[in-house]
Structure 1
């Protein structure tokens, strides 16, 4: 019975892997050995498992592989036949054991998520849940931190209060580790040009480009060698000259004994083009800095498209 099912699944899955993107009719045509209804049910199983995603191209419903380089047809077929409960997976192949043996970098996003989910539910293991989320966010992992529990639960029922908290805690810890690594490298960084300012802000304020839903205004205080001392959040909300007061901007810079500052804010729209207000704020703070003996080196706008220097754009 298992051998027959394996053959039927192979007659659908193997031909499909030769296609990058296809319609249901194209799938049925290429899987000529399988009955059309069986092709349809297999496509649904691949979509449920997060292996395929349904997209609309030129008003037509089509299928596209989520992570084609990671998809292992034989392994997936085995899972359909024998199930994917962790207790039925060989010990040496379980994500936690592979992490300990081979290191975290060797695991897929789905494997890492499965470890964070920890416990599955009836008919759906943590491995399945992790793979579904991993596949769904394969091409847009940066969006995962912004998902609430209900959104993830729509993808897999393995998400409950505990597993959601574990995933978000893991993401935040990763961010803090990355930030700490960045802090340790700061003594080697010097903001000596527009390009170095953009590169620094792209790395240091990556969260603003991907996660922030409101405008945030920050400064980077710099020493006499133009090495970063510290970053400070000044305001949250629409950038306005009346809100970004020189007193609030330069107070932390004076505390840091800064010689210069870098102004930074984000555009949640994704377009870094400076507004008239952005330029006015830059000019006002530049003049205030001259009175205090603190140079405003540049004003960098962070956006999902790219980072932009107002000095260079003006």
Structure 2
């Protein structure tokens, strides 16, 4: 029975993996002699598991592989036949065992999520749930922290209050570890060029580029050697020259006895191109800094596409 099923699945999967993109009719044509209904069912399974995605090209509905380089046809076929229950998964392929043997860096996103989910539900194991989430967020992992429990549960029934809390706790702990590592690196950091300013802000304000849904305005205070002292959030909301008052910006700089500051804000749209207001704010605060004897070194815009220096662009 399993041999027959393996053959039927292979008749569909192997021809499809040779195509980057295809329509339902193309799929049925290349997968002969598999029955059209079986081809359709298999494609639906691949879509549900986040391995294929539906796209519209020239007003035609088509299917495209999400991560073709990571999809393993034989392994997927095995999973369809034998299931993904932990007890049916070879010990060397179980996420926890792989982590202990090879380290966390060797695991896929699905494996890591399976460990955080821990316990499956009837008809779906933690491994299957982790794979579903890993496939769904393969191309947009930065969206996972902003996805609520009900949205995740629609992808996999393994997401309950406990597993959701474990996933979000794992994400937050990872952020804090990264922040602590960045803080240690900061001791050796000097802002001596536009490139170093951009690199520092890309690391320090990565959350703004990936997660923030509103504009946030921050400053980085710097000592006489232009080493970062600390960061300060000034405002949240659309950047407006009339709302960003020099008093609010330079108060923490004076308190830190800063010699210079970096201005930093994000563009949630992902496009770092400075607006007229961004340029006006930069000019106004630069002039105010001159009166106070505090240099405004640069204004860095962080966005998902890239980080940009207003000084360099002007």
TM-score, normalised with respect to structure 2: 0.95
Name the structure 2 match of 1:24: 24
Distance 2:262 2:272 in 1: 17
| 1:119 Cα offset (Å) | 1.2
| 1:53 Cα offset (Å) | 1.6
SS of residue matched to 1:110: helix
| 1:217 Cα offset (Å) | 0.5
| 1:157 Cα offset (Å) | 1.3
| 1:87 Cα offset (Å) | 2.2
Q: Deviations over 1:84-132 (max 9, x none)?
A: 1112222332101111111001100000011111111111111111111
Task: Pick closer, same or farther for the CA change 1:115–1:262 going to 2, 3 Å.
Answer: same
| 1:275 Cα offset (Å) | 2.4
Name the structure 2 match of 1:169: 169
Distance 1:220 1:92 in 2: 47
SS of residue matched to 1:188: coil
Name the structure 2 match of 1:112: 112
Distance 1:118 1:203 in 2: 31
Distance 1:164 1:82 in 2: 27
Q: Deviations over 1:27-74 (max 9, x none)?
A: 111111211111111111222222222222222111122222222222
Distance 2:169 2:243 in 1: 33
Q: Is the 8 A contact 1:51 1:135 kept in 2?
A: yes
Matches within 5 A, 1:233-312: 233-312=233-312
Name the structure 1 match of 2:211: 211
| 1:255 Cα offset (Å) | 2.3
| 1:12 Cα offset (Å) | 1.0
Distance 2:32 2:305 in 1: 44
| 1:144 Cα offset (Å) | 1.3
Q: Deviations over 1:140-198 (max 9, x none)?
A: 11121111112111111111111111111111111111111111111222212222212
Q: Which runs of 5+ in 2 are unaligned?
A: none
Q: Deviations over 1:187-216 (max 9, x none)?
A: 222212222212221221121112111110
Name the structure 1 match of 2:198: 198
Name the structure 2 match of 1:40: 40
Name the structure 2 match of 1:103: 103
| 1:270 Cα offset (Å) | 2.2
Is the aligned partner of 1:179 residue 2:184?
no
Distance 1:286 1:50 in 2: 49
Is the aligned partner of 1:141 residue 2:120?
no
Distance 1:249 1:92 in 2: 55
Counting matched residue pairs gives 314
| 1:302 Cα offset (Å) | 1.5
Task: Pick closer, same or farther for the CA change 1:248–1:96 going to 2, 3 Å.
Answer: same
Q: Deviations over 1:251-305 (max 9, x none)?
A: 2222222110000011222222222322222222212212222111011112222
| 1:247 Cα offset (Å) | 2.1
Name the structure 1 match of 2:224: 224
Q: Is the 8 A contact 1:27 1:39 kept in 2?
A: yes
